[in-house]
């Protein structure tokens, strides 16, 4: 994400260091070099097309324009820019080991690279937080659905915080230090060898987001487990002779606390059956064993609670995948940069750095699949764009 393949020539001369920083074109055969270039371009194309599809779907389908999906759009914009701007400029630099576009473009590339990748991480945290609220705070979450300004403020805050974390240092570090340590044909941040800055910035960019997303995920799982234990005590049996004439869902008594209160919150209070609706077969002999309106009402209540629980289970599973993929893509690079900053890059082989670098960008290519393709409405929007005839067939068959 943030640094170049040829930063180390500015350090003290070491034989293994000089070898590791040679451009890739001098390290590999022509066949291997072509393969590497192909894989880099392919990753850039996948990142561009995947995130462009999310953006187009959001623009074309009005059903996607509600609060939580604005966060998906924000993430897709940052990841799309990574594939459209950062990757293409880095590929020739990675293959040749020299920056040919000048210091001005280098500064712009560094600012955009740090800004976009950091914004992508912060958007992941924001999406995870939004899902956390939708599961554990259903009533307050749904009450805020109509507040358009709320998500917009959070989205703007993401970009502001992402800019402040790295970009001022990129732009002004050399002026504060009095000189630049970077050669004219190289492009990397001036602070790439400052261990203290890297540790502090990495904590805010990776460790805090990872802990936050893990915290949200763990609490969602605990919330679902509590509700499952409570649901196992509910009785939604069909009516029997001499029993109540409707399927009775065991609800918490008024004023009593319940571990499934979050699940009950997702159902309107008007859906709770009233005392006067408890009609027995003895008091209404004309109904016999027929299904009464009260029966339908209580069954609907049970179904809605179970449906909400199943939906939250899917959210928890997808969030667990997000945590794992985010950790796998970001942890190697983050830890490597901290270690390399401490040892002035003398203990890190450049090939290992390159692998972790592209692994970091891989997260931007995977995000459209991790988030949007796991969302039913986004999948339908994608089908409408890519396969309009099939979408029309499915839609006509649903009516």
How high is the pLDDT of residue 164?
Answer: 95
Using CA atoms, how far apart are residues 206 and 162, in angstroms rounded to an integer?
Answer: 12
Using CA atoms, how far apart are residues 221 and 217, in angstroms rounded to an integer?
Answer: 6
**Chain segment 19-61, per-residue pLDDT in tens:** 344 455 556 678 888 898 999 999 999 999 999 999 999 888 8
How high is the pLDDT of residue 7?
Answer: 39
Is residue 94 scored above 90 in pLDDT? no
How high is the pLDDT of residue 178?
Answer: 81
Across 142-149, average pLDDT: 59
Using CA atoms, how far apart are residues 157 and 85, in angstroms rounded to an integer?
Answer: 22
How high is the pLDDT of residue 296?
Answer: 55
CATH superfamily of 8-226+337-397: Rhodopsin 7-helix transmembrane proteins (1.20.1070.10)
Across 214-241, average pLDDT: 69
Domain boundaries, the chain: 8-226+337-397
Query: What Rg value do the Cα atoms of the chain yield, rounded?
Result: 28
Least confident of 111-120, 215-224, 337-346: 337-346
Is residue 168 scored above 90 in pLDDT? yes
How high is the pLDDT of residue 381?
Answer: 83
27 C-beta neighbours (distance < 10 Å), count? 14
Using CA atoms, how far apart are residues 39 and 52, in angstroms rounded to an integer?
Answer: 20
Least confident of 2-16, 32-46, 101-115, 309-323: 2-16
Using CA atoms, how far apart are residues 94 and 116, in angstroms rounded to an integer?
Answer: 19
**Chain segment 180-201, per-residue pLDDT in tens:** 888 888 888 888 878 889 889 9
How high is the pLDDT of residue 284?
Answer: 44
**374 exposed, middle or buried (CB, 10 Å; 0-12, 13-18, 19+)?**
middle
Question: If you average pLDDT over every residue of the chain, what do you get?
Answer: 74
Across 289-318, average pLDDT: 62
Sign of CA dihedral 278, 283, 289, 292: negative
Q: Which two tokens stand for residue 371?
A: 């988030």
How high is the pLDDT of residue 297?
Answer: 53
Across 215-227, average pLDDT: 82
Is residue 179 scored above 90 in pLDDT? no
Q: Which two tokens stand for residue 268?
A: 């309107």
**Chain segment 239-254, per-residue pLDDT in tens:** 444 443 333 333 443 4
Indicate the pLDDT class of residue 110, thresholds 50, 70 and 90.
very high
Is residue 173 scored above 60 in pLDDT? yes
How high is the pLDDT of residue 237?
Answer: 46
Least confident of 151-160, 240-249, 309-318, 367-376: 240-249
How high is the pLDDT of residue 195?
Answer: 83
How high is the pLDDT of residue 28?
Answer: 67
How high is the pLDDT of residue 139?
Answer: 66
251 C-beta neighbours (distance < 10 Å), count? 16
At which residue do the structure tokens 């990574």 appear? 82
- Three-state SS across the chain? CCCCCCCHHHCCCCHHHHHHCCCHHHHCCHHHHHHHHHHHHHHHHHHHHHHHHHHHHHHHCHHHCCHHHHHHHHHHHHHHHHHHHHHHHHHHHHHHCCCCCHHHHHHHHHHHHHHHHHHHHHHHHHHHHHHHHHHHCHHHHHHCCCCCHHHHHHHHHHHHHHHHHHHHHHHHHHHHHCCCCCCCCCCCCHHHHCHHHHHHHHHHHHHHHHHHHHHHHHHHHHHHHHHHHHHCCCCCCCCCCCCECCCCCCCCCCCCCCCCHHHHHCCCHHHCCCHHHCCECCCCCCCCCCCCHHHHHHHHHHHHHHHHHHHHHHHHHHHHHHHHHHHHHHHHHHHHHHHHHHCCCCCCCHHHHHHHHHHHHHHHHHHHHHHHHHCHHHHHHHHHHHCHHHHHHHHHHCC
How high is the pLDDT of residue 370?
Answer: 83
């Amino acid at each position: 994400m943030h640094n170049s393949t040829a930063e180390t020539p500015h350090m003290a001369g070491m034989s293994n260091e000089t070898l590791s920083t040679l451009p890739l074109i001098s390290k590999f055969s022509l066949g291997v070099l072509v393969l590497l270039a192909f894989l880099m371009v392919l990753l850039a194309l996948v990142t561009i097309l995947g995130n462009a599809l999310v953006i187009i779907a959001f623009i074309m389908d009005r059903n996607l324009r509600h609060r939580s999906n604005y966060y998906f759009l924000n993430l897709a914009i940052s990841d799309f820019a990574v594939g459209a701007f950062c990757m293409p400029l880095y590929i020739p630099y990675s293959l040749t080991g020299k920056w040919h576009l000048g210091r001005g473009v280098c500064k712009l590339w560094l600012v955009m690279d740090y800004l976009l990748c950091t914004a992508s991480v912060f958007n992941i945290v924001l999406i995870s937080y939004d899902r956390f609220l939708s599961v554990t705070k259903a009533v307050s979450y749904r009450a805020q659905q109509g507040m358009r300004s709320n998500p917009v403020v959070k989205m703007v805050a993401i970009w502001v915080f992402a800019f402040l974390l790295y970009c001022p240092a990129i732009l002004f570090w050399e002026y504060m230090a009095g000189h630049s340590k970077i050669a004219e044909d190289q492009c990397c941040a001036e602070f790439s060898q400052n261990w203290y800055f890297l540790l502090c910035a990495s904590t805010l960019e990776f460790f805090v987001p990872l802990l936050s997303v893990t915290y949200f995920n763990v609490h969602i799982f605990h919330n679902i487990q509590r509700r499952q234990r409570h649901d196992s005590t509910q009785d939604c049996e069909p009516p029997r002779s001499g029993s109540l004439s409707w399927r009775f869902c065991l609800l918490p008594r008024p004023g009593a606390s319940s571990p499934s209160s979050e699940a009950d919150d997702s159902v309107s209070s008007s859906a709770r059956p009233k005392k006067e609706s408890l009609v027995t077969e003895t008091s209404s002999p004309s109904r016999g064993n027929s299904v009464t309106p009260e029966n339908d009402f209580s069954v609907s209540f049970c179904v809605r609670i179970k449906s909400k629980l199943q939906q939250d289970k899917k959210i928890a599973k997808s969030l667990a995948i997000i945590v794992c993929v985010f950790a796998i893509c970001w942890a190697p690079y983050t830890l490597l940069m901290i270690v390399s900053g401490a040892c002035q890059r003398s203990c890190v082989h450049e090939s290992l750095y390159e692998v972790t670098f592209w692994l970091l960008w891989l997260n931007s290519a995977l995000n459209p699949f991790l988030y949007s393709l796991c969302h039913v409405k986004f999948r339908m929007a994608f089908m409408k764009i890519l396969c309009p005839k099939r979408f029309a067939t499915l839609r006509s068959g649903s009516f």
